[in-house]
Amino acid sequence: MLSTPTIHQQSVRDYAVVTLAYWGFTLTDGALRMLVLLYFHTLGYHPLAVAMLFLFYEVFGIVTNLLGGWIGSRFGIKLTLYSGIALQIGALLMLTPVNSSWATAWAVPYVMIAQAISGIAKDLTKMSSKSAIRLVIPQTAQSSLFKWVAILTGSKNALKGVGFFVGSLLLATVGYIHALLGMAAALFLILLSSRWLPAGMGKIKTKVKLRQMFSKSREINILSAARFFLFGARDIWFVVGLPVFLYSGLSWTFTQVGGFLALWVIGYGIVQSLAPTILKHFGSSHPPQAHTIRFWTGLLTAIPAAIGLALQMGLPTGPTIILGLMIFGIVFAFNSAVHSYLVLAYTEDDKVSLNVGFYYMANAGGRLAGTVLSGLIFQLYGLVGCLWVSTLFVLLAELVTLKLPNPKPAKALAWTVKSSN
């Protein structure tokens, strides 16, 4: 009988440090997004202007994921993790002086620059954490890899949801400036706790050339293209359209808007964490294959279309949105969990930082497209328009995955062995 590959205790400790730092960062990142969105909406910024505040956040996320993978492979994950947290502290402090006395012509570019720094920080931190898990789990232990990736990604999204609520709550209680200063202080403590990581974690011994940043793997390229459309589909309604609609269209308070979005993301994160268990319960004795992601993406296509159609038919707005987005969140969680597993299943140990960086560059590109379209489409056509464009993006993601091959059979061995024991 084949034994399950051993995971070294030191590797687990290193990964725990990275994950705890990622969790803390994610909490403040979610809070910052909600804080900026609601604060500037109350200052009178229209939806497209609010979306523009996050434009550089996503643009520089694209660049960071690409260069961050190369930096991580050259100098180690510790450097990218440290840099990400330090830059986020700087972004928080940079945003503190902005208030209602600032002219829009000055405030918008200033906040965009601060958000650019925050976007760099977020993707450096995320790339470090996602790469670390591939270094902890042996290449042959694909069942463990799927489980650990699902737990990490699901818990991250749950904490991001908590961050949404925290951001709106801080804005309503202590105010904009004190909220930013408090989050900066919390991140500084996290930065101090990350010093125990080994300097060479994730570093490749051979010299990595800049041209190697662009993936040459067909599987990674296809999956990255699907990721672009998948996350663009989510952010088209989620980033600007939905929170502004809940606040202005349904007259919800800051806390209600933040609370609802928090519960949605927390629930999405929980489902994502449980994805391996749920799939196995329904008879999947093997790790996800190409047909798995095609099924879940195809199912997701119908959901934003159904919500948009229901709203156009005049069904009650509040219940329709709440129920529809609950269903969307569940199905999207399975899509995201399987995606996050497949990118690592297709990746060799010595290319993990490069491939993960390239993959999340596409992820950031999808968020960028979704962010801009969220403000533009909502301003022109409302939330229903956002939902129909979201449907188109999911459909494109489904068409891309039709060309996705299965991971190599040898990599799925451990899943089968574990399931039979």
User: Is 2 domain-assigned?
Assistant: no
Name the pLDDT band for 400 (thresholds 50, 70, 90). Answer: very high
Please tell me the predicted confidence (pLDDT) of residue 198.
Answer: 59
Q: Would you say 36 and 115 are in contact if contact means Cβ atoms under 8 Å apart?
A: yes
| pLDDT tens string 45-98 | 788 788 778 888 878 877 777 676 666 666 667 777 888 889 999 999 999 888
Question: Are 47 and 247 a contacting pair, CB within 8 Å?
Answer: no
Residues near 329 by beta carbon (within 8 Å), at least 6 away in sequence: 264, 265, 267, 268, 271
Examine the pLDDT at 350 and tell me if it is beyond 90. no
Question: What tens digit of pLDDT does each residue of 292-308 get?
Answer: 899 999 999 999 999 99
CATH number for 49: 1.20.1250.20
Q: What is the pLDDT of residue 418?
A: 35
Residue 282 has pLDDT above 70, yes or no: no
Domains of the chain: total: 1
In a domain, 3, yes or no: no
Q: What one-character DSSP code corresponds to residue 213?
A: G
Letter string b/e over residues 280-317, b meaning 16 or more CB atoms within 10 A of that residue's CB: beeeeebbbbbebbbbbbbbbbebbbbbbbbbeeeeee
What band does 420 get if pLDDT is binned at 50, 70 and 90? very low
SS3 label, residue 198:
coil
Average pLDDT, the chain: 79
Asked whether the beta carbons of 311 and 387 are under 8 A apart, the reply is yes
Q: What's the per-residue H, E or C state across 273-338?
A: HHHHHHHHHCCCCCCCCHHHHHHHHHHHHHHHHHHHHHHHCCCCHHHHHHHHHHHHHHHHHHHHHH
Please say if the pLDDT value at position 206 is more than 60.
no
Range of the domain at 123: 9-420
Query: pLDDT value at position 417?
Result: 31
Would you tell me the crossing angle of helices 9-42 and 176-193 to the nearest 10 degrees? 170
Q: Is there a contact between 76 and 201 (Cβ–Cβ < 8 Å)?
A: yes
pLDDT given at position 75:
66
Amino acid at residue number 44: G
Please check whether residue 330 lies inside any domain of the structure: yes
User: CA-CA distance, 400 to 203, in Å (whole number)?
Assistant: 32
Mean pLDDT, residues 375-386 taken together: 91
Task: Tally Cβ neighbours within 10 Å of residue 57.
Answer: 29
Residue 4 lies in a domain: no
Largest CA distance in the chain: 71
| C-alpha closest to that of 20 among 164, 190, 252 | 190
- Contact (Cβ atoms closer than 8 angstroms) between residue 404 and residue 339: no
The pLDDT value recorded for residue 175 is 87
Q: Indicate if the pLDDT at residue 320 is higher than 90.
A: yes
The tokens describing 304, both together, are 């934003």
Measure the CA–CA gap between 63 and 59, rounded to whole angstroms. 7
